[in-house]
Amino acid sequence: MTVTFLPMRNKLPKIVIIGAGSLFFGRKAVWAVNNLPGLRGCTLTLVDNNPAHLDKMVRLGKMAAESSGSGTIVEGFANYRDALPGADFVILSFSERNAHYRRIDCRIGEKFGVRMCSGDTIGNGGVFRTVREFPKILEMCKAVEEICPDAWVVNYVNPSAIMGIGVAKYSKVKAFALCDSHHMPWKKESYLKLIGEDVSKINNFDMRIAGVNHFTWLLKAELEGVDVLPRVRDAFAAAAVHDTDQGHSKAVFNNYITAQLGDVFGAVPTCTGHTKEYVPYYQGRAEVKEAIPPLTVFDADKRDGETAKFWREIDEWLDGTHTMEDFHKREKTDHATDIIHTMVVEDGRTYFINRPNTEATDGSGRPVTNLPEDAFLEMECKLDRNGPKPLPVGAFPLGLRAQQYLILDVHELTIDAIVKQDRNLLVRALAMDPIINSIATAEAIIEETYREEKEILPAWVHKPEGTPPATPVPDSMKMSETGVAIKSVEPAPAPKLVPQLF
């Protein structure tokens, strides 16, 4: 293939990855820069604050470059500021003790009636991961503004939409956010296979997906001009009879939930493993129960096992147990590196990217016509060296539009609370969250989380002991030291007996 270079420099790009030890991304990036034709020979700059992890990933990168003959330059830094000079792309892919804090967040949520199957996107898990991570992201963006202002910042840190909203609102960098659940062309192919159609028809399949990251919906599906959205929904319904309560928390009963939500809202959720966590229906609190059990809570111990397995595999490549030939055959590229490759070579591929609801490719302005321009949405985008431009989508059905607004408000409130260090805004964000069931629950979760994560959370999150409630408690509800109401509520008068007439 003919390689077109980025216009700002007649050379291959410099790609900086902050969080090189990322479970899902680091080694895929190493593979990509040594195998994708437009990236071979680039500079891959790895950053990690764990010296052992950084050393391993740099060694793996250099071994991959040597064994592939790519000419790719691999370097490592402990301090991200040292890595930024000359950067064209800065990928954020880090997390502070991911499984450890998700375990705490999910346990506290479950204690207060909030069940999270992922624990890092919505609910208290999403809010507190943002509290822990966003200040670092904003600090890094300010450094990019100063040191390499022409670089693209690519956020891969969850909650991707909240972080993206924060970067767009409080920094000046060129940026977008990613999630790998809608990688193309796999997403289109998966729907064609689902309804029994040959993937060779992919160019005649018009698929429109949009929404807040992890709360995205298939709004249109036409194959050769014929509406196949009902067939997609019916295929999930047919598969639902085989659903069980076994397996990963994000995968349990997904076919059933996809079909049920499709029936109710007239659109099909496209990321059900997360979307089911955004709605209150599967929390198990209702008097009338759903046909399936409540959400399975995220298993942080399993994530610890996956992380340990990841590092064992890295060690086996480094010590020669497995050859680098095996590495090049076994590994593959990633959503982020494919996107960078397309921006470098301009090959015309489209990708799902999180960005503001503007600049539709047909010139109409807002891709989603009934959401505002600052709605930060995941949409299919065309890409070139100037960044992503969304394809037109259309309108959200009523009901779904309201839920998009709600989640966007919760996300923006979370960011504003962090930047302004305003506990009241944090309470409001949690109280509005679709799976938090009361204001008192929001307050209790904040305080218990602060107690258990005090070493990493800022002090403004905590309400000091003895702080009076903002809203005075009615005398009738005040409790004595024994836990008995000081003043009892007057009982309602007994209803009059009315004779029944037969």
Strands (DSSP E) found in 181-310: 205-212, 215-223, 226-227, 268-269
In this predicted structure, the answer to whether residue 10 has a pLDDT above a threshold of 60 is no
Task: Answer yes or no: are the C-beta atoms of 34 and 62 closer than 8 Å.
Answer: no
By the 10 Å C-beta count (0-12 exposed, 13-18 middle, 19+ buried), 284 is classed as middle
Nearest to 153 by CA among 169, 140, 134: 140
Report how far residue 23's alpha carbon sits from residue 237's, in angstroms, rounded to the nearest whole number. 33
More confident residue, 403 or 1: 403
pTM: 0.90
With a CB cutoff of 8 Å and minimum separation 6, the contacts of 128 are: 101, 105, 449, 453, 457
Give residue 8's pLDDT: 40
pLDDT band at 275 (very low <50, low <70, confident <90, very high): very high
Taking residues 248-258, what's their average pLDDT?
92
Q: Give kind and range of the element (H or E) at residue 388.
A: strand 387-390
Length in residues, the chain: 502
In this predicted structure, the answer to whether residue 167 has a pLDDT above a threshold of 70 is yes
pLDDT band at 499 (very low <50, low <70, confident <90, very high): very low
Give residue 479's pLDDT: 60
Give residue 151's pLDDT: 97
Report how far residue 205's alpha carbon sits from residue 110's, in angstroms, rounded to the nearest whole number. 42
Report how far residue 12's alpha carbon sits from residue 72's, in angstroms, rounded to the nearest whole number. 10
Give residue 396's pLDDT: 97
DSSP line for 336-387: HHHHHHHHHH----EEEEEEES---TTS-S-SBTTS-TT-EEEEEEEEETTE
Highest mean pLDDT among 75-79, 119-123, 183-187: 75-79
By the 10 Å C-beta count (0-12 exposed, 13-18 middle, 19+ buried), 363 is classed as exposed
User: Which tens digit of pLDDT belongs to each residue from 456-495?
Assistant: 999 999 998 777 777 777 877 766 544 444 444 444 454 4
14-97+127-182+302-345 adopts what CATH topology? LDH C-terminal domain-like (3.90.1820)
Taking residues 209-228, what's their average pLDDT?
97
Give residue 74's pLDDT: 97
CA angle centred on 456, ends 432 and 132, rounded to 5°: 45
Task: Answer yes or no: are the C-beta atoms of 164 and 354 closer than 8 Å.
Answer: yes
More confident residue, 310 or 2: 310
CA angle centred on 438, ends 433 and 441, rounded to 5°: 95
User: Which tens digit of pLDDT belongs to each residue from 288-311?
Assistant: 999 999 999 999 998 899 889 999
User: Which tens digit of pLDDT belongs to each residue from 382-391?
Assistant: 999 999 999 9
Give residue 149's pLDDT: 97
Give residue 491's pLDDT: 46
User: Which tens digit of pLDDT belongs to each residue from 324-381?
Assistant: 999 999 999 989 999 999 999 999 999 999 999 999 999 999 999 999 999 999 999 9
Nearest to 413 by CA among 397, 436, 396: 436
In this predicted structure, the answer to whether residue 498 has a pLDDT above a threshold of 50 is no
Tokens 């997360």: give the residue.
Answer: 274
Give residue 244's pLDDT: 87
Task: Answer yes or no: are the C-beta atoms of 82 and 91 closer than 8 Å.
Answer: no
In this predicted structure, the answer to whether residue 33 has a pLDDT above a threshold of 60 is yes
Give residue 486's pLDDT: 43
In this predicted structure, the answer to whether residue 103 has a pLDDT above a threshold of 50 is yes
Tokens in use for 313?
């595999």
CB count within 10 Å of CB 419 equals 15
| Mean pLDDT of all residues belonging to the chain | 91
With a CB cutoff of 8 Å and minimum separation 6, the contacts of 69 are: none
Give residue 102's pLDDT: 95
Rounded to the nearest 10°, the torsion over CA 317, 319, 324, 326 is -60
pLDDT band at 53 (very low <50, low <70, confident <90, very high): very high
